[in-house]
Amino acid sequence: MTATTTATTIPGYIAGTWTIDPVHSEVGFSVRHMMVSKVRGKFTTFSGQIVTGEDPASSAVTAEIDLASIDTGNEQRDAHIRSADFFEVESYPTMTYRSTGVRALGGEYILDGDLTLKGVTKSVPLSLELNGFGPDPYGGTRAGFTATTEINRRDFGVNFHAALETGGAVVADKVVLHLEIEAVLAA
């Protein structure tokens, strides 16, 4: 967001420190499989904090994802993804994201930040949608965000490759990350 952006341009905007509510959030992904379909999955254990600044451009996000919590709906596949062929969770148990800035791009927001996976850190911008801010029925305040991006798994040392007889790969390099985040304002 630019320096001229103020919180009043974002309906209901509240500055503060928020904790990601994992019960009402999802960290998911999809990747092309066998060149004909997409496998979708999610991580069931993650945590994070969002700090919305008085100036939205000064907002910050930190998040940590437990890679062993991968769930694609198939335990055999999940075990393979946890192995050295993919995540190598014995050596690299978490994936982290630390924002470096927030900016407006046209009518959208971009959350810039560093993603660390398998000991490799790369700049990864997230397309960010602000879904709203408001009270919950328990006396608290909640905020909702949607974020998406694409990464190349090979950029992070996830290099498993199995070729198909007809050409192409069993697992594509491009991975789409999709986050639906609900966060609770600290008291």
Write down the pLDDT at residue 166.
Answer: 55
Predicted local confidence at residue 170, as pLDDT: 53
pLDDT of residue 155: 86
Question: Domain extents for the chain?
Answer: 7-185
Highest mean pLDDT: which of 54-63, 90-99, 145-154, 168-177?
90-99
146-179: pLDDT as tens digits: 999 999 888 887 776 654 455 544 566 788 999 9
Average pLDDT over residues 77-97: 93
Lookup: tokens for 77: 């596949």
Choose which CATH entry (2.60.40.10, 2.40.128.110, 2.40.37.10, 1.20.1050.10) describes domain 7-185: 2.40.128.110
pTM: 0.88
